[in-house]
Amino acid sequence: MFFISPVLIPALFWGVVLYDFFNSEVPPGIEQPLKLHTIMLVVQTSQHYSFQILSLQQGKILEKLGICNDFAVLRAAVDGIPPWRDSKLLIKDLTVDEVPLRIYQPKSPPTSKRRGILYFHGGAGTFGSISKKWASFIFQVKSKPLHFSLQACVNQCLYRLSPEHPYPGQYFDCLSATLYFMRNLEEYHVDPGLIIVSGDSCGANFATVICQILLNDRDLPKVRAQVLLYPGLQGLDFQLPSYQQNAFGPILPRKLVIYFCFRYLNRKPTVLKDIIQNCHVPESMRQKYKKWVIHEAVKEILAGTFSPLLAEDSIICQLPESCIVTCEFDVLRDDGLLYKKRLEDNGVPVTWHHCKHGFHGILAFFDYLVLNAICSALLKSLKII
């Protein structure tokens, strides 16, 4: 019988964390590099980057043992601490078509119709949950030296996760949440002319697809604007400049992006190296989309519900006013830039905020100084919509 020392597992855990801390890449030019290193060390033991890797490795072992899937440990780490409830907000939890929703409103009675904001969280479609951070951002964000407050009703959707709820079920859940909200605007004192669809990371992908889908429904109010925070919008090209420059960047390296894509599609990442080299894209499609810069195993990666960047011009030209936030040191940066270009080429007004010292997921770090200007600019944009 083998004896495992009680100090072995903690030693291995901290060994992985410290190894990654000293070997992680913080690009030159990023603001407050020491602080980012510290953040990465902290989040490695909570919910991001290396702990994602470590959690996934532990999850893979549990999956092979038939105990749970490989995302179980990661989800437990990310969702283990429930969001605290702000006493100044009226928070309503409900379920629509088996999809949990959380609706935030100011407790103060409305003096006029409010903006209605639909928000879809990030997490690669495989983890993440309803959080309070977007409601906090909307209702009470302090920026130095500015302080803004926006009266709005925020509807957050806890779409069901892959692989238990297979792709593209996440889009149907988001659509159900959207349709419910749009059909019940009066109950929440929302102006039908001030509906904003938003999300961060893969949630911004969902928001983009929902806006494109709603173009076909003439019975619903038109979406006033879409707000996309560091969106991931395509699976066509993993060799874009941002994917090369930030391949080993903070929080979300390129290999992790592609791994999440595979698991979201409920596919085994057996051809990861081929995907990095874009070997999954047939030459005919390269020629069709080269102005904007299938492998059978992952043909879904080029579908409209996964890569809304590739939508036809006839769809893009009908989209509402857009606000896009990108970060310089984000592997997904160029997805947002390419979508901005496509929207502008089709006559859609775009407000673009670029965080030149930022990185993926920066919205989660409200005390990070570089975010102050983005917070101020984004809230100004929301106030004039």
What positions carry a catalytic annotation?
Answer: 201, 330, 360
DSSP state at residue 350: E
Identity of the amino acid at 204: A
Distance from C-alpha of 131 to C-alpha of 128, rounded to nearest angstrom: 8
Helices H, strands E: what count in the chain? 14, 10
- From 18, 37, 17, select the one nearest 27 (Cα to Cα): 37
The answer to whether 266 and 162 are in contact (CB under 8 A) is yes
CA Rg value for the chain: 21
Distance from C-alpha of 130 to C-alpha of 99, rounded to nearest angstrom: 12
CA 114: distance to chain centroid?
A: 25
Distance from C-alpha of 336 to C-alpha of 328, rounded to nearest angstrom: 11
CA 382: distance to chain centroid?
A: 19
Q: Tell the residue number behind the tokens 């130095």, with chain if given.
A: 144
DSSP state at residue 141: E
Distance from C-alpha of 223 to C-alpha of 72, rounded to nearest angstrom: 36
For residue 326, give Cα distances in angstroms to 53, 134, 188, 227, 351: 24, 17, 31, 11, 11
Sign of CA dihedral 311, 314, 317, 318: negative
